[in-house]
Amino acid sequence: MLGSFITIVVLSFIGFAIIMGVILAATADEEVTIPKKSVLYLDLNKPIADRSSKIPFYISPMNAAGDMGLDEILENIAKARSDDNISGIYLNTENIMTGLATLQEIRDALVDFRSSGKFLVSYGNYYSQGAYYLASAAGQLYLNPEGGLLLKGLNAQLMFLKGTLEKLDVDVRIIRHGKFKAATEPLFLDKMSAENREQITDLITDMWKQVIGDISQSRSIKPSELNHIADELLVQTAGDALKYGLVDTLLYKDELFARFRQLLELDSTAKIGFVSFDSYSKVADKNRSTAKEKIAVVYASGDVVDGEGSQDNIGGERISRTIRKAREDKRVKAIVLRVNSGGGSALASEVIWREIELATKEKPVVASFGNVAASGGYYIACAADKIMAEPSTITGSIGVWAAIPNLKGLMNNKLGITFDNAATNRNADFISVMKPLTPYQQAVIQKDVDHIYDVFSERVANGRNMSVTKVDNIGQGRIWSGTEALNLGLVDTLGGLDAAIHFAASLAGVTDYRISSLPVIKNPIDQLIEQILGKSTPDVYLKKALGEDYTYYLTLRKIRELKGVQARMEYEITVN
């Protein structure tokens, strides 16, 4: 028995060593050679985050859906622009999965790529509205003859839970500050309030103007004509898309490849040198600096949460520590805080805000907003020296709220469970979810919410050089587009991540620098081990199984995990 046990242990170690060796070999950087007349194949039909998880799909089936980082996409496009071996880009995007601000950043990079004189070809069997917006940047836009294209305008859909809570006999007491702070409306209304409808309508109207304006410029179609097409749903088939000038030609895939050979001046039977995104990511960037001086880009994506958090959210302790280390690093000459968050814990937001304020006293700090930087997402950035956003960024939402559920009806009436208690003091049961709040307890929470709102407003006023009165007027929980936020002074200029990095470097007075992306992402082996041990949540399976309904699951999970007073844009807006 002892011999068998020792044999099993030894073989286990050998097996583990072999597996680790295979993984190390798979993840090792390979030298990729790009021949002349190559075409970068940019397949964007995957979820796009601000930053890639770096764990290859072939190592972990939990990452089978794959994810792409905006940072890598922008880097590869810029690299291809100056790469003499890359003749053009083949863009494949039929149903892209990301926000409008991210699409704008990628689109701007593609437009810049075209300015180099290289070709940009987009082809699809079908274009969703977001996919077409990105594809319209292409100089040659093709569609399958039996495919389709959709252009219908933007629609924002909000999910309301009032009916569900009533059926469960659950009462939720809402304490908030801000008439536009609609984060809690799904809990006590079954449709938008007049204030919420106003702000959502204004937001998507600004977004649509940006989309129509960009498409109009690329396709030489008047905005009024594009709106007419959308209003009447005139484009359904590929023939419709061609008729109204939304695409250049209808082609089958073999005809597309023939076009590529013409562009590359190849024989009709020659093999086209397509280079995948993953392969091109391994190609060294000849323009990448090896300077000792650095611009630190701190990525803050997801919900703002107390404690360490994870790679999928903004842990107050983890992100504040990261900013502090960047501040103390003498080689870091400027900091860019990249925010993509609808907020969360008010306390964690304050912790991160403090580190940003301290950092601005020692070196330039520029905030770069992605798809959303609202409520707590705006809170953590408002102390930055400069704030940049995309025109379609969802921002603002300067407001605070708390929601206290009362589960007594559910437990008593639905499940037959009763509770009783004994206490030493009058409010020893503060806060209990098994009984309603007393008027005094609710007043205590309201006082706390009002205090946090006042602090939030003061932080914004100091960071933006405004009066507290003005902040309150444009605050009240209202969300704004990046364009409106610029007019109101909530942001300083419009632009993406690359623009923010260049701006931070100019403020620091450095021209030769390298990018330091923070927090440091765990290597693929560590991530794999965490997944094997169950320390990370394989949400990718749920995303694939639930599809569009995953948003509803995520909303319910977030509500369950709420702790403390929130500075959060809680509702989920699906713009399509």
Instruction: Tell me the pLDDT tens digit for each residue of 72-82.
Output: 999 999 999 99
pLDDT at 29: 53
Q: Work out the average pLDDT over 99-125.
A: 96
Place of tokens 């859906």: 65
Mean pLDDT of 152-159: 89
Assess contact for 368 and 95: CB atoms under 8 A: no
pLDDT at 13 over 70: no
Band of the pLDDT at 373, cuts 50, 70, 90?
very high
Helices (H), 48-161: 70-81, 100-114, 129-135
- Is there a contact between 347 and 567 (Cβ–Cβ < 8 Å)? no
Q: Are 339 and 380 in contact (CB under 8 A)?
A: yes
If phi > 0 it is left, if psi is from -120 to 50 it is alpha, else beta; for residue 263 that is alpha
- The mean per-residue pLDDT over the stretch 25-53 comes to 81
With a cut of 90, say whether residue 261 has pLDDT above it: yes
Three-state secondary-structure class, residue 32: coil
Q: Taking every pair of C-alpha atoms in the chain, what is the biggest distance, in angstroms?
A: 89
Q: What is the mean pLDDT of the chain?
A: 87
What's the rounded mean pLDDT across residues 237-258?
97
pLDDT above 50 (res 61): no
Please list the residues that pair with 304 across neighbouring strands: 314, 344
Model confidence at 498, pLDDT cuts 50, 70, 90, reads: very high
pTM: 0.86
Structure confidence at residue 19 (pLDDT):
58
Find the catalytic residue in 375, 392, 397, 536. 375
Section 32-41 average pLDDT: 93
What tokens appear for 214 in the block?
A: 């960009």
Distances in Å between the Cα of 226 and the Cα atoms of 48, 137, 143, 229, 432 are 27, 16, 18, 5, 55
Q: How confident is the model at residue 57 (pLDDT cuts 50, 70, 90)?
A: very low
Q: Which among 37, 79, 118, 181 is annotated as catalytic? A: 181
pLDDT for 31: 64
Mean pLDDT, residues 460-482 taken together:
94
Neighbouring residues of 71: CB distance < 8 A, sequence distance ≥ 6? 50, 51, 52, 297, 497, 517
Which pLDDT does position 161 carry in this prediction? Answer: 87
Domains of the chain as residue ranges with CATH: 33-150+235-281 (3.90.226.10), 294-417+429-522+564-575 (3.90.226.10)
Q: Which DSSP string do the residues of 371-436 spell out, in sequence order?
A: EEEETHHHHTTTTSSEEEE-TT-EEE---EEEEEEE-HHIIIIIS--------SSTTTT-S-SSSP
Q: What is the pLDDT of residue 175?
A: 86
Q: How many CB atoms lie within 10 A of CB 326?
A: 27
* Whether pLDDT at 63 is above 50: no
Which residues partner with 405 through β-bridges?
172
CB burial string 16-49: b at 16+ within 10 A, e below: eeeeeeebeeebeeeeeebeebbbbbbebebebb
Active site residue 181: yes
pLDDT tens figures, 118-154:
999 999 999 999 999 999 999 999 999 999 999 999 9
pLDDT of residue 288: 81
pLDDT at 341 over 60: yes
Burial pattern 494-532, b for ≥16 Cβ within 10 A else e, equals bbbbbbbbebbbebbebeebebbebbebbebeebbebbe
pLDDT at 86: 97
- Of residues 430 and 20, the one with the higher pLDDT is 430
What integer pLDDT is reported at residue 181 of this predicted model? 67
Nearest to 350 by CA among 132, 173, 564: 564
Q: How confident is the model at residue 67 (pLDDT cuts 50, 70, 90)?
A: confident
Asked if the model's pLDDT at residue 381 lies above 50, the reply is: yes
Other beta carbons less than 10 A from residue 248's beta carbon: 17
**Comparison of pLDDT for 258 and 29, the residue scoring more:** 258
Of residues 456 and 560, more confidence is placed in 456
pLDDT at res. 570: 54
pLDDT tens per residue, range 499-530: 999 999 999 999 999 999 999 886 666 655 55
Q: What was the pLDDT predicted at 365?
A: 98
Task: Answer for the pair 568, 343: CB distance below 8 angstroms, yes or no.
Answer: yes
Confidence of residue 551 (pLDDT cuts 50, 70, 90): low
Structure token pair of residue 347:
């306390």
Phi, psi of 50 (to 5 degrees): -65, -30
Question: CB–CB of 141/410 below 8 Å?
Answer: no
Question: Tokens 């930055």 — which residue?
Answer: 384
